[in-house]
Structure 1
Amino acid sequence: MSTTHVSDFAELKAEIVAQIAAQLGFDPKHPPSQVSDKQAAEVLGAKTTTLAVWRSTGRYNLPFVKVGRLVRYRVSDLAAFLARRTTGHTGEVC
């Protein structure tokens, strides 16, 4: 990945982090580091059960933190996940 693409990706990721924070009602300048699976599902427009399937099957590369039964998603990981799937047209491969 060239330096231009890396900086473009980093800028897009930072913008998405701010959007996630605003969508969930947090201060975009001070977003939380982690959110619950319910909040992650809201951000992604998916159901919590869908995220559970993704976790158990490894369908998508979406990292999560699990302590006991508690599941958390890093906001930076959600932003990177969305940034990797941001395209200009439907002919682009994600």
Structure 2
Amino acid sequence: DLIRRDQAELNYNYAVTVQYPPQPEVEFGFPQTCYCGGRPKLATSRTVNDPVRRYYTCDYVNDGDCHVHKWWDEAVMEEMRARDTHTLQLSE
């Protein structure tokens, strides 16, 4: 009976996970908003594979939901490519 009650409690507490829809503000360039609606912040990775690399994350990243995680240098390159394309279109 205790096992059944514990299992029911676990199913109740962890049954529904929040899945945020993809947002263009997060997917391309510098993220303006997180999937959860929060404001992204810039943090520094200090791991063996990426010794010092900047990335965008969210203040609420540890709550178990889906949040932004994007490398800063990749966001910069996306922004630069978009501006190059826009400049080329303007010059034509």
- TM-score range, shorter-chain basis? under 0.3
Structure 2 length-normalised TM: 0.26
The structure with higher relative contact order (CA 8 Å, sep 6+) is 1
More helix by share: 1
